[in-house]
Amino acid sequence: MTAMSGREKLIVALDLPDAASAVNLAEKLRGHVGMFKVGSELYTAEGPVLAHYLIAVGEKVFLDLKFHDIPNTVKAAARQAAQLGASMFNVHASGGRRMLEAAVEGARSTRSSGRSTASPAVLAVTLLTSLESRDLTELGVTGIPEEAVVRLARLAQQAGLQGVVASPREIEAIRRACGPKFLIVTPGIRPAAAAANDQVRMATPEQAVRAGADFIVVGRPITGAPDPVAAADAIVAEMEMALAPKT
């Protein structure tokens, strides 16, 4: 992948309850961010309308529906994501190797109806960034969480996925294990001055990029800001500090 600017690396999570408010925000942010993430709240409320709209006007879409089902169903869903013209979509790595391979097959099996003819990047969710050690114990994930994350990232890479969604503090270990070409998309980002909300594993945009994130996902610090464009521009500026050649 060629070097990307701070703006191209910024994915904004359109975590809003309806299409009207999402379109309103997206229109303001166009030209200031690299991609729009449509997740389960908006998708459940409005279906693919928003993604269709964004792709039709030339924007990139990350379809964040975290598929986790039998391989045949995930393959069919992946085909639909590709058909829609999503640039990225994701699945849970814990669905297992055959499900992961099916996702990749589905993504490659059709050409999008959008402007981009490339297949979407398929990303794996390893462990949700909201999980704390007590949650992991209850789920039977023993040992060091970072080891589970790296194991799942490796599995995803072997199955042909292009990358993972990973928390800031997992970036370096995944980069070491999976190499420079494997995409790392990082939520759990808070600009230096912002409140932590409920994300347990946090980093600033600059820290995430320095650690090796290809993309960062930012929701509430932009969507909840009094001036979302100014908030997005400030985050891009923070990333540019990490990207600037050292003098």
Helix axes 49-56 and 19-29, enclosed angle (nearest 10): 20
Closest approach, Cβ 217 to ligand C5P, in A, equals: 5
Q: How far is the CB of 89 from ligand C5P (least distance, A)?
A: 11
Give me the catalytic one of 9, 28, 37, 66: 66
Kindly tell me which of 102 and 218 has the beta carbon lying closer to ligand C5P: 218
Give the shortest CB-60-to-ligand C5P separation in angstroms. Answer: 16
Catalog residues that contact ligand C5P under the rule CB under 6 A.
13, 15, 39, 64, 125, 128-129, 165, 187, 197, 199, 217-221
Of the candidates 243, 242, 244, 233, the residue with the CA atom closest to the CA atom of residue 7: 233
DSSP one-letter string for 63-127? EEEEE-S-HHHHHHHHHHHHHHT-SEEEEEGGG-HHHHHHHHHHHHSS--SSS--SPPEEEEE-S
| Known active-site residue 60 | no
With vertex at residue 116, the alpha carbon angle to CA 185 and CA 40, rounded to the nearest 5 degrees, is: 45
- Taking CB atoms, the residue at the shortest distance from ligand C5P is 219
CB of 111 to ligand C5P, least distance (A): 26
Nearer to ligand C5P, 116 or 199 (CB): 199
When the beta carbons of 21 and 72 are compared against ligand C5P, the nearer one is 21
* End-to-end Cα separation, the chain, in angstroms: 24
What are the residue numbers of the active site? 66
